[in-house]
Structure 1
């Protein structure tokens, strides 16, 4: 890839930088004044204060935590960057590196097996060379329900993956695809062959 054209270009807008940093500066001053006001109350004599110290202290701690969270969120606003990508510059399939996709699950009650299997099928259907894409599922709970779901997903993948590749389906999560009402972006949409294949695949997903 050395000497080749870049796959993306970063853009930095000076106006956005000025606006974001000005906002951060003004907001920081306001927070500093608020913290000074809250802290100064703690040094007052209890007899001269009409407000109980415990509620005031709780509010002060909450404002400190929220201020800290807000401060952490300013990192990506300090120098906002946008990117323009050039997918047409990607190398040929035989030059692409192999990738591994790991999907972790532990409890089928908290992470429904159907949702996990939709994630697995979406990863398997990625538009990437077949021999260079590997999907792994790690079930830390060792649930038999998850194992059964994987077996059913493997059977359904025999229908789903060729269907996605043949008609260049863009939404490759089965649940999202079959619940959507507009498939105009699919290649071959409206043809009798596409409708037949879609019905067969939909019947398979109902069984799955």
Structure 2
């Protein structure tokens, strides 16, 4: 524990905290005044005026529910936290831990197999030591279509993952990469990259 290095740091902006808390306090005061008005209205109206009790109560209950929803949403605004990451503090590849990625799917009709396989291939192409990265697909439906797509995705990943690592691509999802109008060439440019990209499109 003595040699542990934090990969990120948490901090808060004082201006944001002051603004959020001031707004929450003022809003709460306004809510209390409105609740007092709703409750006291039944006792302050003239005796000769009939109040539609049921609609009034329904409106009051609806407002109380909205107040409760608003109050629950203030938890992350009361003290907002911002994180700063330090990727340069990462240890060497041989000291990184083993990562297991589980991708679950249940219905190929609601979760198209093509989209699931794009997620699988993107996970396989992460910038991480390949011997310490394990990707698993859990198909609760046991669909034959998912099994076939998994085999096809594995065959494609044999070419796609080295392509991403060689050219240091930021966009590791094949569907997003080939459908984007902006060319993500990583750290390489020129005829070599264009030829490799054309080959990947054919595969």
Q: TM-score, normalised by structure 2?
A: 0.88
Shift of 1:66: 2.6
CA contact (8 A) 2:17 2:78 kept: yes
CA contact (8 A) 2:12 2:81 kept: yes
Shift of 1:134: 1.0
Match of 1:203 in 2: 202
Distance 1:137 1:49, change over 3 A: farther
CA contact (8 A) 2:8 2:85 kept: yes
2:62 pairs with 1:62: yes
RMSD value over aligned CA atoms? 2.3
Q: How many residues align?
A: 202
Deviations 1:94-147 (A, max 9, x none): 101111111111111111111111111111111111011111111111111111
Consecutive unaligned residues of structure 2, counting only runs of 5 or more, are: none
**Further displaced range: 18-27 or 161-170:** 18-27
Shift of 1:201: 0.9
Shift of 1:9: 2.3
Deviations 1:38-91 (A, max 9, x none): 4556789998444x4444344333333332222222111111122222111110
2: distance between equivalents of 1:109 and 1:42?
55
Match of 1:100 in 2: 100
Shift of 1:13: 1.6
- Counterpart secondary structure, 1:110: coil
Distance 1:152 1:22, change over 3 A: same
**Further displaced range: 148-157 or 33-42:** 33-42
Alignment of 1:175-194 (within 5 A): 175-184=175-184, 186-189=186-189, 191-194=190-193
- Counterpart secondary structure, 1:104: strand
Q: TM-score, normalised by structure 1?
A: 0.86
2: distance between equivalents of 1:161 and 1:111?
23
Where does structure 1 differ by over 6 angstroms across 4 or more consecutive aligned residues? 42-47
1: distance between equivalents of 2:132 and 2:15?
43
1: distance between equivalents of 2:64 and 2:9?
38
Consecutive unaligned residues of structure 1, counting only runs of 5 or more, are: none
1: distance between equivalents of 2:49 and 2:16?
47
Match of 1:109 in 2: 109
**Further displaced range: 134-143 or 57-66:** 57-66
Distance 1:24 1:163, change over 3 A: same
1: distance between equivalents of 2:48 and 2:158?
78
Distance 1:28 1:134, change over 3 A: same
